[in-house]
Chain A
Amino acid sequence: IYQCLSCNKHRSNNSRQRLLRLKYFLYFYYFQIFCLQTKKVTQMMEWTSKRSVIRMNGDKFRRFVKAPPRNYSVVIMFTALQPQRQCGVCKQADEEFQVLANSWRYSSAFTNKVFFATVDFDEGSDVFQMLSMNSAPTFLHFPAKGKPRKTDTYELQVRGFAAEQLARWVADRTDVQIRIIRPPNYAGPLLLGFLLAVIGGLAYLRRHNLEFLFNKNVWAFSALCFVLIMTSGQMWNHIRGPPYAHKNPSTGQVSYIHGSSQAQFVAETHIVLLFNAAVTMGMVLLCEAATSDLDIGKRKIMCVAGIGLVMLFFSWLLSVFRAKYHGYPYR
């Protein structure tokens, strides 16, 4: 456009035809731009209808966000969601961002003025380089007109990544008001209801005989489960949310044991749970072998199995522990 206008300026006085031609050319040009814009908007709309947050790589980012003819704003979250990046904050931020985008996508005021997109570091590291960014998550707003200013970068450290705060920021930048609607979490009540239904069903089925309530094995087993879950650090997992395992991006090797004694992977806790349970079972078997009324052959097998379980799994547990405490016990 700029070039054409400058041409316009330098035209000679009496060349009406050329002017007309230029005018047509300009119309055509505008039309083309318009077409391109509508094309882009429809494309974006199509993506949005599929997923409320558009996933972008470097190529898409350049075409739909960076390239100039654009009449819509884009709010982009730059993040690193791959598990090997170990970005716990990214996950939480991503959830909030999804909530925000969904609230916008399914609201009655939904227009094509604003789109939400995300760029993952492992898919579009060139974008990160282009914008010289080296931390994730980052929220940027690319306005429809003009260059991004300083306030188009969301102050994550100050405002946190709650969807409500993000919505306020988006409203501030784009004049689009988004009412956050959080999808209610049905999982907990559903699970509880299911459990109650199972228990109730069992009680109903066996209403004539409530002996099973006095079955010590069931109670002992559930108590043991609870204790094992707790001692293998599942509570830590629940509160901290570590990744399941770590995959080394360069070698592709998967490690299930965290190298430090201050942290753990989910896989690791499952292994430890198994080991603890095996040692416990070994101890129980040893006792049963001596006290039960089974014939001598079976008792022998139980006893040997008990010895094996205790020895094998406790040594294993020790070696896992040693891998975390380097040089144990002669540090």
Chain B
Amino acid sequence: FTPLRGGLSGGLSQPAGWQSLLSFTILFLAWLAGFSARLFAVIRFESIIHEFDPWFNYRATHHLTTNGFYEFLNWFDERAWYPLGRIVGGTVYPGLMVTAGLIHYVLNLLHVTVHIRDVCVFLAPVFSGLTSISTFLLTKELWNQGAGLMAACFIAIVPGYISRSVAGSFDNEGIAIFALQFTYYLWVKSVKTGSVFWSIGCCLSYFYMVSAWGGYVFIINLIPLHVFVLLLMQRFSKRVYIAYSTFYIIGLVLSMQIPFVGFQPIRTSEHMAAAGVFVLLQVYAFLQYLKDRLTKQEFQTLFFLGVSLAAGAVFLSVIYLTYTGRSSYAKIHIPIIASVSEHQPTTWVSFFFDLHILVCTFPAGLWFCIKNINDERVFVALYAISAVYFAGVMVRLMLTLTPVVCMLSAVAFSSVFEHYLGDDMKRQSPPLEDSSDEDDRKNAVTMLMLMLLMMFAVHCTWVTSNAYSSPSVVLASYNNDGSRNILDDFREAYYWLRQNTDEHARVMSWWDYGYQIAGMANRTTLVDNNTWNNSHIALVGKAMSSNETAAYDIMRSLDVDYVLIIFGGVIGYSGDDINKFLWMVRISPSVASQPQESDYFTPQGEFRVDKAGSPTLLNCLMYKMSYYRFGEMQLDFRTPPGFDRTRNAEIGNKDIKLKHLEEAFTSEHWLVRIYKVKKPENRDRVEHKLRGADTTKQKYTSKKVSGGAEASSEGVFIQERTQLDGT
């Protein structure tokens, strides 16, 4: 900002030109910094799609680019949720796929031949640049250009946003934050100008947001809230009326065009607040109109007070119902929701980890905004307060808090810089005797702020590099000398499935790995990360937690060919299936009450895999598959054979025999194990011994008839036949 202000006061011929050149440069650099900060994973590993959900998005995008848009909309995926299948076109937010597909199409049209995978991998980093531009625009509307540039720089590197937008994390949030910020920018713009043009722009941006992410509900509640508070503050104006009426109607119609959203905007309680405010606004405007015509002023104001209070009560109750519904939905402990670690409340450490200095400075920005309130600053204050509440309730909603924190911190920092970094020209009566003293203080403040910002940049890089840049499809471990081992077991196993199994083979696994199996191995799965059918998941959980015979019946009824499990006992990988096992047990009773959670604990209530563990656990399918032949393996000379490094215990059941399954594949570090489910035998195996081997009686008869001393079993059979013939 030094050169920026210098350019202003230096008397250059065209300060505006300098200003925009600098803005462009700074924004470009922010984009570049944001883009490169997100490339850790690509540089360390390779250009690869991360984690779980992105694999589905990638698969859908691939489908879109190979088969075209309409085929994608009508796509019925028979490879998921066997035997039910899944109607993909109607159950996804298509914005992400369409964006990636469009970019791919345009690039190929220009003969820049890139693979769709690379488009998908680099989509989120590219969009982070767009996010910083829209944050710049929004902050500029709220405060000034300097704050805008600062906000753009903040959001480019802040870990709270990087966590969802590193290269390879091809997920809805990556583009949704851009859409969110841009919608808000256009909304603020349309409130400021009151022009239908900006309002329509806001609707289109909102439409993009609806097509991209379920978080659009945040917008459709925050904007009405803004309007409502403006009404309460008696800041109603024609501009607000035009902006909101246009936005609500066109936004509603547009949002209903997304197949997955459908009629929800006029049915569910989450959208009712918007409708209520719309009605309220019309009533208010009508009363305003009447007020100009009629004379009974006091009656009018009373009437308006009554109406607005009633409407406010309705509005607040709707809001209350909606939000308590939401915050309690993590509380109800639907096991499948509770099992996802993202649906947890947030500790102060996560706030500081994701936002660092911004978390302490953004209240200052909020203070300045409220002190110098105007229409659009009401908006940002409401944005901050609601977002900070949601972020406190659920870790994953930190993402919606991050942009507003960046904006308000930028306001705080830039107002400090504005007063301490500039020269003294503006102050009319500088006290002469104190000028050197004041300069010292100014320098101290400037240095302090720069130090803070530098620490922030270091922190962001560190967090990005250490916490948010692991693809989790490929694992890495570091030796003491710093050299690196790559554990590529997942892809090894998925590739094995792809190459060695029948094209229509059905693979059973826990739902976490469904998308990856479908994406990388291209095989049919029973359950996946789109957890829409709890009872199906419960059935899989039940199969995993029952004993082998019972599990075989379930697997037969589900036509399972292969079972895939993740086992971390060899390398000490803690996210494996045994550690998730209790969730399988917890989810399974919702379909049938047979396995009880307590049966898998020791009488003391511990979950143990060693000899003291409960016999139910030691004989269930998951245990057997995880530790099959593990008892023969000695990892280390200090530990006994069959020592599980994840749970630090020697396993309790070393002699595992599988009857209905056979081991098909185990990856290099035993991370992924695949078992083949045997077909039932042609003839049921007879439990008792065969007649031919039955000795006592037949020996007797053979002696009697043939008299041969060395009666072999063959001889016995012949003899039997003769007997039969005789009868």
Contact = CB atoms under 8 A, between A and B. Distances in A.
Contacts of B364: 280, 283-284, 287
Contacts of B366: 220, 223-224, 227
B348 A233 contact: yes
Contact of B389 (A156, A230, A325): A230
Contacts of B27: none
Main secondary structure of the interface of A (DSSP, over half): helix
Contact of A296 (B346, B349, B431): B431
Interface residues of A, number: 61
A190 B549 CA distance: 58
Contacts of A283: 361, 364, 412, 416
Interface stretch (A25-33, A106-114, A306-314): A306-314
Interface in A281-308: 283-284, 286-287, 290-291, 296, 300, 303-304, 306-307
Interface stretch (A168-176, A178-186, A191-199, A269-277): A269-277
A314 B360 contact: yes
A37 interface: no
**Chain B contact patch, size range:** 35 or more
Contact of B445 (A134, A230, A307): A307
A34 interface: no
A186 B597 CA distance: 36
Interface string B570-612: 0000000000000000000000000011100100110000000
A329 interface: yes
B318 to A, nearest CB: 19
Interface in A109-139: 134-135
A193 B106 CA distance: 62
A181 B465 CA distance: 56
Main secondary structure of the interface of B (DSSP, over half): helix
A158 B391 CA distance: 34
B434 A135 contact: no
A8 interface: no
B596 A158 contact: yes
Given A232-B348, A307-B448, A276 B370 contact: no
A226 B385 contact: yes
A275 B360 CA distance: 8
A290 B422 CA distance: 12
Contacts of A286: 416, 419-420, 445
A290 B420 contact: yes
Given A290-B419, A329-B462, A231 B359 contact: yes
Contacts of B348: 231-233, 236, 264, 268-269, 272
A220 B347 contact: no
Interface in A246-280: 261-264, 268-269, 272, 275-277, 279-280
A82 interface: no
A22 interface: no
Contacts of A155: 598
A86 to B, nearest CB: 16
Given A231-B359, A329-B462, A321 B367 contact: no
Contact of A227 (B357, B363, B441, B598): B363
A280 B388 contact: no
A236 B441 contact: no
Contacts of B434: 296, 300
B352 to A, nearest CB: 6
Contacts of A223: 366, 370, 381, 384-385
Nearest to A136: B605
Nearest to B415: A287
A41 interface: no
A158 B348 CA distance: 34
A311 B448 contact: yes
Nearest to B232: A213
Contacts of B431: 296
Contacts of B718: none
Interface in A47-62: none
B329 to A, nearest CB: 13
B345 A230 contact: no
Nearest to A311: B448
Nearest to A239: B345
B371 A236 contact: no
Nearest to A157: B598
B351 A233 contact: yes
A310 B448 contact: yes
B445 A317 contact: no
Given A227-B363, A276-B363, A280-B364, A233 B347 contact: yes
A219 B412 CA distance: 18
B444 interface: yes
B416 A287 contact: yes
A264 B349 contact: yes
Contacts of B444: 307
A240 interface: yes
A283 B367 CA distance: 10
A219 B372 CA distance: 12
B148 interface: no
Contacts of A158: 596-598
The residue among A158, A231, A269 with the most chain B CB atoms within 10 A of its own CB is A231
A142 to B, nearest CB: 19
A296 to B, nearest CB: 6
A318 B359 CA distance: 12
A235 B398 CA distance: 13
A157 B370 contact: no
B260 interface: no
Contacts of B393: 235
Contact of B345 (A134, A236, A268): A236
A303 B345 contact: no
27 contacts: A135-B604, A158-B597, A216-B370, A223-B366, A223-B381, A224-B363, A230-B391, A231-B348, A231-B388, A233-B347, A233-B348, A233-B351, A234-B392, A235-B345, A235-B392, A236-B347, A261-B349, A269-B348, A272-B348, A276-B359, A286-B420, A287-B419, A303-B441, A307-B441, A307-B445, A314-B452, A318-B455
Give the 6 A-B CB pairs with smallest separation, nearest first.
A290-B419, A157-B598, A235-B392, A279-B360, A283-B364, A233-B348
Given A158-B597, A236-B348, 11 more contacts: A220-B366, A220-B367, A224-B366, A231-B348, A231-B359, A232-B348, A235-B389, A236-B345, A264-B348, A283-B416, A313-B360
